[in-house]
Amino acid sequence: MPSGTKMDSRKYGIASMPESLHLKKKTTKSVFNGLILKHSSLAKNAWKIHCLLDTVYVLSLGRKSDCHNTRDFLHKRKRVVSNALKKLFHLSEDLCEHEVPVIAVMATGGGLRAMTAMYGHLLALQKLNLLNCISYITTASGSTWTMTDLYKNANWSQNNLEESIQVIKSQMLKSKMDIISIQRLKHYHKEIIERTEKGHSSSFTDLWALVQEAFLHEKPDNCKLSEQRQAVNQGQNPLPIYTAMNVKDKSISTTDFREWVEFSPYEVGFLKYGASIHVEDFDSEFFMGKLVKRLPESRICFLEGELLICLIMKRALDDRYTTVYKPPSFGSGKLCEIFNDILTDRPLKGKTHNFLQSLDFDKDYLQQKEFIEWRDTMLDTSPNKLTPMDQSLCLMDIGYFINNSGPPLFKPERDVDVIILLDYEMTERLAKYCEVQGIPFPKVNPSEEDQKNLQECYVFSDENNPKAPIVLYFPLVNSSFREFKAPGVKRTASEMSGGKVNVNRCSSPYRTIHLTYTEEDFDKLINLSTYNLLCSKDYVFQAIQHAGAGVPH
């Protein structure tokens, strides 16, 4: 099929492509430099946030070690990707490190819909032998559930994902009535009290974290985010990056103030400040860059509680207040009241200790390139109102602003060439955000016809900006799947019901507020998301070929 040809997916069961496709060539580049820690020379006990690329003045955190770990991962992962591309494209020679394209998967949120579709998309990538070509996977909200589940297995991408899908399917089909039983409520109450006694600042999101854990798992999950290092320390899987937003906890909306925060098995960091700490030290107490009280690392469900807080929202933008939960005696009935608030209102933000507390700014921080890139709110010109002045962080689901996990991939040092964008919500808004911020990203301007009848895959690139990644956009749509059960394989009359998948936002069984699926609905969503990526295989391969200098066309 000639490059740039637009095909009728309903006729051939193959995804469509914009008629004018401009793809960039791979250029030589340096490997990720990582973050560097230095001591401020201004005063013995003074610490600075310098908004310079990869620079943060928090000496006591030992960031050089994490910098090494991240670089080491990428170096090992590039070898895995190089071998995978060599097999995939039948190359006669190994690719040099600078020739290996950096490919990322960017997922969005949407509750169980996002989690289920993510499994289907990853299964398709595995069937196409592309999973070993991916270096990063970023998630938000519901898709985070998929990744935290998979990364319990150190070699998950080498195992058959259909087995993992069957496990989560069996859990989703079970009755969920016991998650609000008296026994469960006693368990939630006991664990929140224990967390508070250890020094953690508990909020409503901690209760929600325990509820969603009971919803998804048979028993408590004792895994911690730092333990996911075993799944990446040999470069055997893509690096997972989980995104959240830091906001103000009182009367300032997310429209007026928000900051991107990323979590990985190695570190937690702010994109805007270039400041990071070891992930196991998250929610420990820091002052002026020094660790003053180390708290035990939380179980991963509490992180999920902060990342997934939008799952059951009915009023996503009106409520702007946070209340810190102080565990009452169980007999007071307050716990049941809190639980009822979670089911009927915005469960508010997660409250954690601020590791940036009392750090100082350079006087010229507003002129620093990296700060400018992420400067997007009214408070950014007032250093005394920014996060280092706060005692606590207030983390929340990014769905309150822009339901997309992309920002961590836009850091220049990650130098991502191809993004496979699994979008269940809003890609146009992400593109507009990047345009306003000056972040290299291709324009996304769907035609009126495309807006009415979305196809399985669209490819966007910017021929005038080699720094912009090639974006393969996969909206969650049911187009040719109605007539094709596999790419090029038409359904028989008896199989037509399998293609009836309602993904309409208003009437779909996959709406975010739905907390259970039937077996039929679950299977259909898995099959649809798998099919949509499989039938777009040619476009994915073309994008990789254009991004890799050593990959033949």
pLDDT over 70 at 228, yes or no: yes
Does residue 123 sit within a domain? yes
- Is there a domain that residue 419 lies in? yes
* Strand duo 239-246 + 392-396: pairing: antiparallel
Task: Evaluate if residue 377 carries a pLDDT over 90.
Answer: no
Look at 263 and 512; give whichever has higher pLDDT. 263
- The answer to whether residue 18 sits within a structural domain is no
Residue 55's pLDDT is 36
Residue 49 — pLDDT band, cuts 50, 70, 90?
A: very low
pLDDT (0 to 100) of residue 212 = 78
Residues with a known catalytic role: 141, 397
**Does the pLDDT at position 292 exceed 70?**
yes
Q: Which of 29, 33, 35 is nearest to 97 (CA)?
A: 29
Phi first, then psi, for residue 485 (nearest 5°) are -90, -20
Please report, for the domain that includes residue 332, its CATH number.
3.40.1090.10
Question: What are the φ/ψ torsions at residue 214 (nearest 5 degrees)?
Answer: -65, -30
Q: Do 117 and 109 touch, CB atoms closer than 8 A? A: no
Q: Tell me: the pLDDT tens digits for 300-311?
A: 887 776 555 544
Strands (E), 194-324: 239-246, 259-263, 267-270, 275-278, 285-287, 290-293
Residues of the chain above pLDDT 70, percent: 78
Q: Average pLDDT in the 522-526 region?
A: 97
Average pLDDT over residues 419-437: 85
Domain around 276: 33-77+102-547
Number of structural domains, the chain? Answer: 1
Q: Is residue 248 part of a domain?
A: yes
- pTM here is 0.82
Range 424-449 average pLDDT = 84
Cα separation, 68 vs 70, whole angstroms = 6
More confident residue, 313 or 424: 424
Mean pLDDT of the region 324-345: 42
Give residues with Cβ within 8 angstroms of 98, minimum separation 6: 28, 29, 549
Domain-located, residue 92: no
Q: Pick 271 or 54 by higher pLDDT.
A: 271
* Closest of 509, 511, 517, 417 to residue 472, by C-alpha: 417
CA pair distance 71, 195, nearest whole angstrom: 34
Percent of the chain with pLDDT over 90: 42
Greatest mean pLDDT range, 102-106, 342-346, 378-382, 512-516: 102-106
What is the pLDDT, as a whole number, of residue 32?
A: 23
Question: Does residue 239 belong to any structural domain of this protein?
Answer: yes
Distance CA 145, CA 304 (A): 7
Is the pLDDT confidence value at 149 over 80? Answer: yes
- In this structure, is residue 87 part of a structural domain? no
pLDDT exceeds 90 at position 146: yes
398 or 138, higher pLDDT? 138
Contact (CB, 8 A) for 263 and 300 = no
CB atoms within 10 A of CB 227: 17
Cα–Cα distance for residue pair 78/98, rounded to 1 Å = 9
Per-residue model confidence as pLDDT tens digits over 245-280: 888 876 677 778 889 999 999 999 998 888 889 999
Does some domain include residue 91?
no
